Amino acid sequence: MTAPTDVPSDLFLARLTDAMLTLAGDSGWTRATLDAAAVAAGLSPGEAMLAAPDGVSTVLRALAERAARAAGEAVADPAVAKLKVREKVKAGVRAWIATLALHRAAVKRAAGSPASILEGPGGLWEAADAIWSGLGDKSTDYNWYTKRMTLVAVLGSTFTAWMADEDLAVLDAFLDRRIENVMQIEALKAEARKAFASLPHPLDILGRAGR
């Protein structure tokens, strides 16, 4: 996840992204809108090119990084530290959605699917990684991947639900159900690890059988 810096290209991109989000709700995510956003942001053609070398795709990635960063910061907030894991995850997902909700019209114009608004599945993965990393996840084996893959599904489905209905009470209830599913999967994985850990090693069994 890329953090904001004082590098000129990053500063230009932040300005360009803000302007694009203001215009794209009406004009769409087009090259013409991007050019208009550059003018609105006070960027020269060279500065706009430096900010977004891949055009609209660069701005969409910047939006994805902005939302992921907000999610990570939310779960790392000391005020959230005493909450249960499921509540921390929920805080992260809600912060992610809240960042996108600041520009709902532009997000809606960009979103043919959760993947497209976030410039590919990598955007969802980035948000999931930001949340688990913010929670201090130390896993290094397959659990590192499965935790994030499961949360990617939660983020994608929650985004779809939010696009269909902006009612926060409805979204909260939906999110609670999805996170409960995640917690059940994590509990089952923990039980499976314990069960396998208690089994004798296959080579030990073969060794005893050969005596």
pLDDT band at 98 (very low <50, low <70, confident <90, very high): very high
8-198 adopts what CATH topology?
Answer: Tetracycline Repressor; domain 2 (1.10.357)
Q: Which of 11-20, 36-45, 86-95, 155-164 bottoms out in mean pLDDT, i.e. has the lowest?
A: 155-164
pLDDT of 36 higher than 90: yes
The 8-class DSSP code of residue 103 comes to: T
Q: Which residues contact 131 (CB under 8 A, 6 or more apart)?
A: 71, 72, 75, 89, 92, 93, 96, 151
Q: Which of 16-25, 109-118, 122-131, 185-194 bottoms out in mean pLDDT, i.e. has the lowest?
A: 185-194
3-state DSSP call for residue 82?
Answer: coil
pLDDT band at 191 (very low <50, low <70, confident <90, very high): low
Q: What percent of the chain has pLDDT over 90?
A: 48
| pTM of the complete model | 0.81
pLDDT of 202 higher than 70: no
183 neighbors 154 (Cβ within 8 angstroms):
no
Q: What percent of the chain has pLDDT over 70?
A: 80
